[in-house]
């Protein structure tokens, strides 16, 4: 695997950019992360969060997701969210020992810390996204997730249709999710980098166990405007073992 290039940047993003739409922020990685690094598991400690290493090579998901998209998406976009999250946490000693899941649950309608919401969301969402894809993925699920999908949606085919429809219907940038809720699974969508852990912000709160990034940066190089084709390709690389593991912990 290629080593991540450390970004040397001459400017720190202006304060106003934090509140601006994420498209602007996302295309401009901010200050080089003093806490950044390719630690295998990413995640946190009191010094900050690190970009998790991709669990496979950039080209491993081809032909479904191309290598250049993966390299930019991971090395630039996810790194930008990681740095932004660390910046948002800089003067928040009250939050420094919290896991990323706890931080996401702490993002509520009442607590509108936009830096934490956008960058923490971007950090969490992409960490999940890399993990639930695999070059050995695709096909139909087995185990507990297969039973849960049948129980909640009737059949895998019905689930796939509903999930694809949801992902296709996201207006602008956002995500579609499969979540574990109270005794059943549900599909939801969120705008920008919001996710189903956030309270009072998203329509349906639950534990995300599968998610697809439908921001154009996730597919435009290879699929251009064909989001539907990208969604079909995503199904060819879903790591159902990882989804099962998330369901077990949910
Ligand atoms: Mn993305």
- Stated pTM of the model: 0.82
| 154 CA to centre of ligand 1 in angstroms | 30
Q: What pLDDT does 16 receive?
A: 32
SS3 157: helix
CA dihedral defined by 203, 208, 209, 211, rounded to 10 degrees? Answer: 70
What does each of the 250 residues of the chain score in pLDDT, given as a tens digit? Answer: 333 333 323 233 333 333 333 322 233 233 333 333 334 567 766 658 999 999 999 999 999 999 999 999 999 999 999 999 999 999 888 888 899 999 999 998 887 689 999 999 999 999 999 999 999 999 999 999 999 999 999 999 999 999 999 999 999 999 999 999 988 999 999 999 999 999 889 889 999 999 999 999 999 999 999 999 999 999 999 999 999 999 999 9
CA dihedral sign, ordered 218, 233, 50, 104:
positive
Q: What pLDDT does 25 receive?
A: 29
How is the chain split into domains, by residue range?
Answer: 21-131, 143-249
| 190 CA to centre of ligand 1 in angstroms | 13
Q: What pLDDT does 5 receive?
A: 33
| 114 CA to centre of ligand 1 in angstroms | 17
94: number of Cβ within 10 Å: 9
Which fold does the domain 21-131 belong to in CATH? Helix Hairpins (1.10.287)
| 151 CA to centre of ligand 1 in angstroms | 30
| 103 CA to centre of ligand 1 in angstroms | 19
Q: What pLDDT does 28 receive?
A: 29
Q: What pLDDT does 1 receive?
A: 34
Q: What pLDDT does 184 receive?
A: 95
| 126 CA to centre of ligand 1 in angstroms | 6
49: its two tokens = 């969060």
| 129 CA to centre of ligand 1 in angstroms | 9
CATH number for 143-249: choose from 2.60.40.420, 1.10.340.30, 3.55.40.20, 3.20.20.70. Answer: 3.55.40.20
| 57 CA to centre of ligand 1 in angstroms | 17
Q: What pLDDT does 23 receive?
A: 29
Q: What is the DSSP letter of 217?
A: G
- 238: closest CA among 168, 163, 150, 182? 163
CA dihedral defined by 73, 76, 79, 83, rounded to 10 degrees? Answer: -140
| 48 CA to centre of ligand 1 in angstroms | 21
Residues near 117 by beta carbon (within 8 Å), at least 6 away in sequence: 107, 193, 194, 198, 201
| 72 CA to centre of ligand 1 in angstroms | 10
């Amino acid at each position: 695997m290629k080593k991540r290039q450390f970004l040397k940047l001459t400017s720190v993003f202006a304060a106003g950019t934090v509140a601006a739409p994420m498209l602007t922020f996302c295309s401009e990685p901010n200050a080089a992360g003093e806490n950044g690094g390719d630690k295998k598991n990413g995640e946190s400690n009191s010094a900050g969060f690190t970009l998790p290493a991709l669990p496979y090579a950039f080209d491993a998901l081809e032909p479904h997701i191309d290598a250049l998209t993966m390299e930019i998406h991971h090395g630039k976009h996810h790194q930008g969210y990681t740095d932004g999250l660390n910046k948002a946490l800089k003067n928040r000693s009250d939050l420094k020992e919290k896991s990323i899941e706890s931080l996401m649950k702490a993002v509520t309608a009442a607590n509108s810390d936009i830096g934490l919401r956008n960058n923490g969301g971007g950090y969490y969402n992409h960490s999940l996204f890399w993990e639930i894809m695999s070059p050995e993925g695709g096909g139909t699920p087995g185990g507990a997730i297969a039973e849960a999908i049948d129980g909640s949606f009737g059949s895998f085919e019905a689930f796939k249709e509903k999930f694809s429809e949801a992902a296709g219907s996201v207006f602008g940038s956002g995500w579609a999710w499969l979540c574990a809720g109270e005794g059943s699974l549900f599909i939801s969508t969120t705008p920008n980098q919001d996710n189903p852990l956030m309270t009072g912000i998203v329509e349906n709160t639950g534990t995300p166990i599968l998610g697809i990034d439908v921001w154009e940066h996730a597919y435009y190089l290879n699929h251009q405007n064909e989001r539907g084709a990208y969604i079909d390709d995503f199904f060819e690389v879903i790591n159902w073992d990882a989804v099962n593991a998330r369901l077990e912990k949910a």
